[in-house]
């Protein structure tokens, strides 16, 4: 019996929702799930659309980046590998090319504090990583820099990457992030939006540090 079957099924469910929500289309985008504390993880296979995948197609990656099994891993496995190595709080990662996040990534500008929900991703802005060819170490290095103290970033002329504590959390954040990107894009059609101040964003960031915790539900 496959000891990783529940994790395989969770990852497959994640990528199928990404398709249903139009965050990924066809073989674009990828997702992964940390397996343990040794650096191993599951990642979606390369070249297979989510609807054609089964749980068995999810690829186990060893801590040294070696794939296990018959499927080849996503071409972006380095990005996932390096985020897990650098960010121990990352339990799952979503990389996608949704319409609004990708449109903003093609402008190569960070998303400013136009809305307080930006703080959901770790700070007053969401940065845009510099451009590098997909699947390269250079892209991974640029993404890690943009993710410093953040849990999401844009990838210039490419798309977005988000991580969460587990697959459900990462999926939720990816959907929320694309919604924010759409809101920012729509606000730009009316002109430059009014931005929140550093003090206002700091207060929101502090509130997000306890928001949703059981012991603090009476404060929400």
Q: Between 35 and 1, whose confidence is greater?
A: 35
Look at residue 163 and tell me whether its pLDDT is greater than 50: yes
Q: Within 10 A of 14 (CB to CB), how many other CB atoms are there? A: 22
Share of the chain above pLDDT 70, in %: 95
CATH number of the structural domain 5-212: 3.40.225.10
pTM of the model: 0.93
The Cα–Cα gap between 105 and 116 comes to 20
pLDDT at residue 218 is higher than 80: no
Angstrom distance (rounded) from CA 116 to CA 173: 15
Alpha-carbon distance of 61 to 41, in angstroms, equals 5
Quick one: average pLDDT of 10-17? 94
Q: Catalytic amino acids?
A: 76
- Residue whose token pair is 């509130």: 207
pLDDT of residue 133 exceeding 70, the answer is yes
| Calpha distance 2→189 (Å, rounded) | 51
pLDDT at residue 103 greater than cutoff 50: yes
């Amino acid at each position: 019996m496959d000891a990783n079957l529940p994790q395989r099924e969770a990852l497959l469910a994640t990528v199928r929702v990404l398709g249903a929500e139009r965050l990924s289309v066809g073989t674009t985008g990828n997702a992964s799930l940390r397996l343990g504390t040794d650096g191993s993880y599951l990642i979606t296979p390369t070249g297979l659309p989510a609807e054609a995948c089964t749980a068995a197609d999810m690829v186990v990656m060893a801590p040294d980046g070696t794939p296990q099994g018959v499927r080849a891993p996503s071409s972006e496995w380095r990005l996932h590998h390096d985020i897990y190595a650098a960010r121990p709080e990352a339990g799952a990662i979503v990389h996608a090319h949704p319409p609004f996040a990708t449109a903003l990534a093609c402008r190569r500008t960070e998303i400013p504090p136009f809305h307080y929900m930006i703080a959901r991703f770790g700070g007053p802005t969401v940065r845009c990583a510099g451009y590098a060819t997909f699947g390269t170490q250079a892209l991974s290095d640029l993404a890690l820099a943009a993710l410093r103290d953040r849990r999401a970033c844009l990838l210039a002329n490419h798309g977005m990457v988000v991580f969460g504590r587990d697959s459900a959390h990462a999926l939720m954040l990816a959907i929320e992030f694309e919604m924010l990107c759409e809101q920012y894009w729509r606000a730009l059609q009316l002109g430059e939006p009014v931005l929140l101040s550093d003090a206002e964003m700091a207060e929101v960031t502090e509130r997000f540090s306890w928001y949703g915790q059981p012991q603090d539900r009476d404060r929400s």
